[in-house]
Amino acid sequence: MKTEAGVRAVVAHGRDDLRVDVLEAPIPGPDESLVAIELGGICGSDLHYWLHGAAGESILKDPLVLGHEIIGRVVRSAEDGSGPAEGVRVAVHPATPGPGDGPRFPSSRPNLSPGGTYLGSAATHPHRNGAFADVVALPSRMLRPIPGDLDARTAALIEPLSVAWHAVKQAGDVAGRRVLVVGAGPIGALVVAVLSHHGAGEIFVTDLFEAPLARAKELGASRTVLASEASELEGLDADVVIESSGSAPGLRTAIRAATRGGRVVMLGLLPPGDQPVPVSIAIARELELVGSFRFNDEIDEVIAALAAGEIDPSAVVTHVFDVDEALEAFAIARDASTSGKVLLRFGHPTVTSRGSSPVQ
């Protein structure tokens, strides 16, 4: 379906060039649903595309519609009959696994597929546009129904909460164990909420700033420590450490705080290249260093837990902006000393169509 109306979309055109464009209305394929987006969360990768024109080694070559942490409502179901019906409220699993021409990967872990794509990612070319737009066309297989009465600010955390859930799964059984979380940004704070849900015995958290640590306390942290005082964590003897800062100092702290035979989950994405970390300590203590990348089917567990009222991550949300205020929202989101998760609110205005490409 193509109409004369356009949709607002948050588009990264290059380094330091973020715009709210009006693009052509989306044209869904037979297996795609039209989804009116309600809320979208600004992720670290969205910030990187804006600030650097790249997220890690994914470099912008063309304008990219950002956004993969979204909830919305189906306004037209897929023509082939797949997916949720019209009117159903949905969260979105942003991944499209694909083997590509890359190396082998375990079939049970599609998040590791080398040819996969993700909404709002420049990892492939043509890029895969995201869903920071009033209305988007999405494959119906991505859509997950959510309770109609689930608070919107909480529901908007489903995708990043799934990332945190996967990281805790990578940590193994945390029930009754001593855990350290390095970095209390939105993902680290959500890790704290998941650890608490999973019955961790003690949850220690360290961060550069006081405000994120205060939010971590709300979500279940037993004790918080400023990064400037992190040397006292070296004797913590933690069974599990989840590194979510994505920094070499954070990984150094994680390794030094882990008990002998402990496990360090590397969730934060460090910059490309070699990192100066104390590997000799990891060897001498026989630490297990485990990566954590996105998620698989954890989104279904997350939705079930939220629907049952078993977990409340809403303290992570600190700001909500209208999409027309996207530049201000992104500026707030980059200030980790004051903001947690920053959300964009979308609607479906009637505007004159302009722009170069449909949002799909």
From first to last of its 360 residues, the chain has per-residue pLDDT tens of 333 468 999 999 999 999 999 999 999 999 999 999 999 999 999 999 999 999 888 999 999 999 999 999 999 999 999 999 999 999 999 999 887 677 788 888 888 888 889 999 999 899 999 999 999 999 999 999 999 999 999 999 999 999 999 999 999 999 999 999 999 999 999 999 999 999 999 999 999 999 999 999 999 999 999 999 988 898 899 999 999 999 999 999 999 999 999 999 999 988 878 889 999 999 999 999 999 999 999 999 999 999 999 999 999 999 999 999 999 999 999 999 999 999 999 985 433 332 333 444
The pLDDT value recorded for residue 5 is 64
- Residues contacting residue 209 through CB under 8 Å, at least 6 positions apart: 226, 336, 337
Q: Which two tokens stand for residue 180?
A: 């350290």
- Residues contacting residue 200 through CB under 8 Å, at least 6 positions apart: 174, 175, 176, 177, 178, 179
Q: How far is it, in rounded angstroms, from Cα 261 to Cα 181?
A: 18
In the chain, where the domains are located: 6-157+313-345, 165-291
Q: Taking the domain 165-291, which CATH number applies? A: 3.40.50.720
Q: How far is it, in rounded angstroms, from Cα 321 to Cα 83?
A: 30
The pLDDT value recorded for residue 231 is 85
Q: How far is it, in rounded angstroms, from Cα 24 to Cα 330?
A: 24
6-157+313-345 and 165-291: same fold? no
Q: Taking the domain 6-157+313-345, which CATH number applies? A: 3.90.180.10
Q: How far is it, in rounded angstroms, from Cα 69 to Cα 313?
A: 15
C-beta of residue 23 within 8 angstroms of C-beta of residue 2:
no
Helix/strand/coil (H/E/C) assignment for every residue in the chain: CCCCEEEEEEEEEECCEEEEEEEECCCCCCCEEEEEEEEEECCHHHHHHHHHCEECCEECCCCEECCCEEEEEEEECCCCCCCCCCCCEEEECCEECCCCCCCCCCCCCHHHCCCCEECCECCCCCCECCCCECEEEEEHHHEEECCCCCCHHHHCCHHHHHHHHHHHHHHCCCECCEEEEECCCHHHHHHHHHHHHCCECEEEEEECCHHHHHHHHHCCCCEEEEHHHHHHHHHCCEEEEEECCCCHHHHHHHHHHEEEEEEEEECCCCCCCCCCCCHHHHHHCCCEEEECCCCCCHHHHHHHHHHCCCCCCHHHEEEEEEHHHHHHHHHHHCCCCCCCEEEEECCCCCCECCCCCECC
The pLDDT value recorded for residue 356 is 33
Q: Which of 38, 33, 27 is nearest to 133 (CA)?
A: 38
C-beta of residue 82 within 8 angstroms of C-beta of residue 140:
yes
User: Distance from first CA to last CA of the chain, Å, rounded?
Assistant: 12
Using CB atoms within 10 A of its CB, is residue 186 exposed (0-12), middle (13-18) or buried (19+)? buried
Bridge partner list, 202: 178
